[in-house]
Each structure stands twice: as structure tokens, then as C-alpha cells.
């Protein structure tokens, strides 16, 4: 006589259980395939992703801990504790990346930044590092940021060399604002605009505007001397000198008039050594030796 086992699974219950197991396997397979696809598209290795996730988790935990500690009134102590944890976790300065340096000595940038080496990332004062970089003569601006877990990234915006400032004892490279960059030899300064005279460094921007008023003459000007803290004498590549009147409007008008005269009469390259346009609506020309010739002519007559 056949025995019936009580408590066993019915046919329907067994079928339902089998269906659920199949659905779970299908879901896992689909999820795994989708995740594999996403992982294949991302430009990271599995190890790099693990480091990124670790950085996010630890960074979030550190930020939360610092926030809670600040609310509790113990930010300094908390900062030291967090810095220690970060350092133990590998979040300390090990590398420095510098970009934007073309003309200046890159070692000077590293000298300012490498003082942060081995320091825990939370303790790095980015504003202070930036301020120290701005003290360098070539640095117009600087951006400093953290690249977790162990890198400081420095981007330098350099000043652009514009002209040479003639001092009594040396020549100095300057930018369009007159900021001094570094000393330069006479040989390396060849072909560059040389600016001289007491207070000339403060007038560089105004000189740029003045020369822009006569673009045809601008590349022919090799020297500009600031006279009496009020006006310019321009020296051309022909070694001829043009004395301009004082005043921005008056000097620009005189320079434009001279450019027009030179275009018609070709004054540059001729016998005249000095053109004096300080008197309104007039131009005086001095030819070397001409006065002596006139005296000789009078004596001979």
C-alpha cells in the first residue's frame, strides 16, 4: 500500500519555486552583462576604479568627520586627527605636476611647492602656496589644486616679455605692464624695444597706446626715452630721433603727422638726425654739420 508523505511540496509550489530561481538567474545574468558593458566603456582599469571609489569614500568620510568635529567645537584637534588618518591612508603629497611654464625657470616653481612634500593632503594650504608662487617675477597668475590621493597640480600663467628696461647698470626684461621679469644681456636684447628714463617703467602701457596710433612706424622704433617725466623721445632703427610734445593727445597727433610726412617724403633714412615736434604745428630738423657749413659759407663770402 503506497504511503503519502505529508508536508512535501506540491506540484504547483515546486513549479513556482523553480520559476523564481530561473528569474533570479536571468536577472543576475542581465545585471552582470550590463555592468561588464559599462566597465568596458569606461577608460579606467579595475584597479584605477577601486582607487577612485576608495578616494570618494575616504574623502566623504573625512569631510563628514571634519563637519561633525567643527559642530562640536574642536576643529583644530579634529583636523590633526583627520590629517593623520589621511596620511596613513596614502593621502599625502608625493608628487607635483606643473604646467604652463615656457620661458621661466621651472625649478623655481618646484622650489616653492616641494615644501609641501609628505604633508597630509588636508593640511595643504592651497591659498598660501598660490601666494608664494605669485611672488615669482614671471608668474602672472597661478592655480593650485589637489589631485587625490597624492598629487598637487600647479598651473602657471606666465607674464609675456614685451620690451627691455634700460637701467644705469643693467638691462631688464619687462612685460606690457612694466613688471620686471629678469635681467637680460645686451646681445639678447638686440632687436627689442629699449625703454629708458626715470619713471619710464610706469609709462609702458601709455607708450604702447602711443605707438599703436602709428602702426606703420611702430616696428621701426627701437628706443623710447621718457624725458623729464612728461614726454617721449623716440629713436628709430636708423638712429634718428623724434622729439614728441607732452600730453597723450598731443604726442599721438604729432606721431601720426610724422608718419604721414614720412610716407610722402621718406624722412627716415635721410640726412636729418633729429626731428623736433614739440612746438604745435611745426617740425624742426637738425642735420649734423649743417650749422658749421652755414658758418663756413658766410665766412667764405
Check whether 48 has a pLDDT greater than 70: no
- Encode pLDDT of 90-146 as tens digits: 467 788 899 999 999 999 999 888 877 767 877 888 999 999 999 999 999 999 998
Give the whole-number percent of the chain exceeding pLDDT 90: 54
More confident residue, 252 or 80: 252
Mean pLDDT value of segment 180-200? 95
The yes-or-no verdict on residue 13 having pLDDT over 70 is no
Whether the pLDDT of residue 38 is over 60: the answer is no
Quote the pLDDT of residue 151. 87
Contact between residue 113 and residue 145 where contact means Cβ atoms under 8 Å apart: no
Residue with cell 615736434: 277
pTM over 0.75: no
* pLDDT computed for residue 1 by the predictor: 47
Q: What are phi and psi of 11, to 5 degrees?
A: -60, -45
Classify 284 in phi/psi space as left (phi over 0), alpha (psi -120 to 50) or beta. beta
Rounded CA-CA distance 260/266 in Å is: 9
Lowest mean pLDDT among 23-37, 63-77, 271-285: 23-37
Mean pLDDT taken over the chain: 80
Query: For residues 232, 233, 237 and 240, what is the CA-based torsion angle, rounded to 10 degrees?
Result: 150
The per-residue b/e assignment along 61-99, b for 16 or more CB within 10 angstroms, e otherwise, is ebeeebeebeeeeeeeebbeebbebbbebebbbeebebe
Above 70 in pLDDT, residue 290? no
pLDDT, tens only, 52-78:
666 666 666 666 665 665 555 555 444
Q: Which residue in 62, 69, 71, 138 sits closest to 98, CA to CA?
A: 138
- Decide if pLDDT at 236 tops 80: yes
Amino acid at each position: 500500500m503506497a504511503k503519502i508523505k505529508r508536508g512535501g511540496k506540491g506540484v504547483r509550489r515546486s513549479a513556482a519555486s523553480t520559476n523564481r530561481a530561473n528569474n533570479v538567474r536571468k536577472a543576475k545574468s542581465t545585471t552582470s552583462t550590463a555592468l561588464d558593458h559599462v566597465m568596458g566603456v569606461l577608460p579606467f582599469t579595475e584597479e584605477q576604479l577601486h582607487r577612485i571609489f576608495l578616494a570618494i569614500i575616504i574623502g566623504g568620510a573625512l569631510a563628514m568627520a571634519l563637519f561633525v568635529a567643527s559642530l562640536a567645537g574642536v576643529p583644530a584637534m579634529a583636523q590633526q586627527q583627520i590629517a593623520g588618518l589621511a596620511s596613513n591612508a596614502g593621502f599625502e603629497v608625493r608628487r607635483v605636476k606643473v604646467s604652463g611654464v615656457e620661458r621661466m625657470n621651472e625649478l623655481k616653481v618646484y622650489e616653492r611647492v616641494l615644501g609641501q612634500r609628505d604633508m597630509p593632503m588636508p593640511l595643504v594650504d592651497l591659498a598660501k602656496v598660490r601666494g608664494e608662487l605669485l611672488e615669482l617675477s614671471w608668474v602672472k597668475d597661478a592655480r593650485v589644486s589637489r589631485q587625490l590621493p597624492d598629487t598637487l597640480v600647479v598651473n602657471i600663467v606666465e607674464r609675456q616679455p614685451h620690451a627691455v628696461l634700460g637701467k644705469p647698470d643693467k638691462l631688464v626684461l619687462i612685460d606690457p605692464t612694466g613688471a620686471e621679469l629678469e635681467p637680460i644681456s645686451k646681445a639678447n636684447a638686440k632687436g627689442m624695444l629699449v625703454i629708458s628714463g626715470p619713471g619710464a617703467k610706469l609709462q609702458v602701457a601709455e607708450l604702447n597706446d602711443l605707438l599703436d596710433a602709428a602702426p606703420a612706424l611702430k616696428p621701426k622704433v627701437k628706443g623710447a626715452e621718457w624725458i623729464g617725466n612728461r614726454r617721449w623721445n623716440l629713436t628709430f632703427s636708423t638712429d634718428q630721433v623724434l622729439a614728441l610734445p607732452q600730453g597723450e593727445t598731443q604726442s599721438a597727433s604729432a606721431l601720426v603727422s610724422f608718419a604721414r610726412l614720412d610716407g610722402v617724403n621718406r624722412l627716415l633714412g635721410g640726412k636729418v638726425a633729429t626731428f623736433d615736434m614739440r612746438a604745435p604745428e611745426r617740425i624742426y630738423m637738425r642735420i649734423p654739420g649743417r650749422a658749421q657749413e652755414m658758418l663756413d659759407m658766410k665766412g667764405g663770402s
